[in-house]
Amino acid sequence: MRSNCALYVDAGYLLASAATRVSGTSLRNGVHVEYGPLVEGLIKQAEELSGLPLLRVHWYDSAKDGVPDAQQGRIGELAKVKLRLGRFGVDGQQKGVDLRIGLDLVTHARNAAADVFLLVSGDDDLTEAVEEAQVHGVQVIVLGVPHSSGRPHGVSRHLVRAADELTTIRAATIDDTVMKKERPVPVPAPPPGVTAAPGAPAGAGESTAAAAAHAVPVPHVPSPLDLAGKRPPTLSPVAPAVAPAAVLAYSGATGQPSHIVGGYAGPDDVAEHVSAVVTNLLTSLRKSADEEDLEALLRGRPSIPREIDKALLLDLSDALGVYDLNDTVRFELRDRFWELYDESA
């Protein structure tokens, strides 16, 4: 039997980490992705790392009721791509994705489907599945998304220890296929009687005037200097190479943080990072959301759409250098989102 490699892609991890690299926040809707070239780049790297031809790409993501949307359907139609979908729970969290990845890793290893598995994920919950696959003689390589420093983003230490190798996706693969969304700024039409600048196409004044007339107003997001009259700490785009297995703990008596792993201590540090994370995300949202998205956001208030909520939690975890956040911090983060949204309206 011919030897093969197989690629397992946690789309939630891949796209959130890639968005963090190019836009400073993990909001998936803040980036545009060229999926065909992205998958081709992953396949090429997988074959080079393993020295074996690719059997198949297994692409894991969540969908409403497990039914693919239009974009997911197109991904599933790409050559050598098998679409594997979980679903969203009532709380907006993805369900079944980690389970599907883990079951596939173990089942495919047991059936000798391939000799080398390449896993694009950082999820701690996959550690045991990786170890079980290795029992059946499979080599498992974890591919992390690189930060600007080149270090892998958000990969669990347990997963790193279990894998045979940890490496990163080529930076060019991410940078060439994942692009930050930028809303074009309409150019105002010249005043009546003023001709267009030399070299401008005929009718340029009319087209720009039309663009300005149909421009969608977006909320102003306060700069960091607007927050409480002082500049909060700048969030570095470089997160730790691996996420520490730590929890942001709170004192039961005071409701305030009693211990923060990652070099931060005290409620003021947390509050400042919360404000900075929310500001970064609102800036990205302002550039990527259209009028319909903003209206839907306000209709659902006080709930926060799952993509935005997930991005807020991931970004704050990165900023604080902790693996998990206490419920008190989560509530503070969500409240601050609406406070800053109102201030920017």
Per-residue pLDDT of the chain (345 residues; tens, 9 = 90+): 569 999 999 999 999 999 989 888 888 888 999 999 999 999 999 999 999 999 999 999 988 877 889 999 999 999 999 999 986 655 455 567 899 999 999 999 999 999 999 999 999 999 999 999 999 999 999 999 998 778 888 898 999 999 999 999 999 999 999 998 876 444 445 555 544 444 444 444 444 444 444 444 444 444 333 333 333 333 333 334 444 434 443 333 344 443 444 444 456 678 888 988 888 888 888 777 777 778 888 888 888 887 788 788 888 887 887 767 888 888 889 898 999 888 877
Whether 73 and 17 map to the same domain: the answer is yes
Rounded Cα distance between 324 and 250, Å, is: 12
Does 185 reside within a domain?
no
- Do 287 and 221 meet the contact criterion of CB atoms below 8 Å apart? no
Residue carrying the six token digits 């993509």: 307
Domain count along the chain? 2
Give Cβ neighbours of residue 77 (< 8 Å, ≥ 6 apart): none
Does 193 reside within a domain?
no
Whether 157 and 268 map to the same domain: the answer is no
Backbone phi and psi for residue 28, each to the nearest 5 degrees, phi listed first: -65, -35
Whether 117 and 236 map to the same domain: the answer is no
Does 217 reside within a domain?
no
CATH number at residue 164: 3.40.50.1010
Whether 142 and 250 map to the same domain: the answer is no
Q: Taking the model in full, what pTM does it have?
A: 0.67
Instruction: Indicate the residue type of 102.
Output: G
Whether 163 and 21 map to the same domain: the answer is yes
- Do 123 and 100 meet the contact criterion of CB atoms below 8 Å apart? no
Does 124 reside within a domain?
yes
Whether 26 and 124 map to the same domain: the answer is yes
- Do 264 and 270 meet the contact criterion of CB atoms below 8 Å apart? yes
Q: Which domain holds residue 304?
A: 224-344
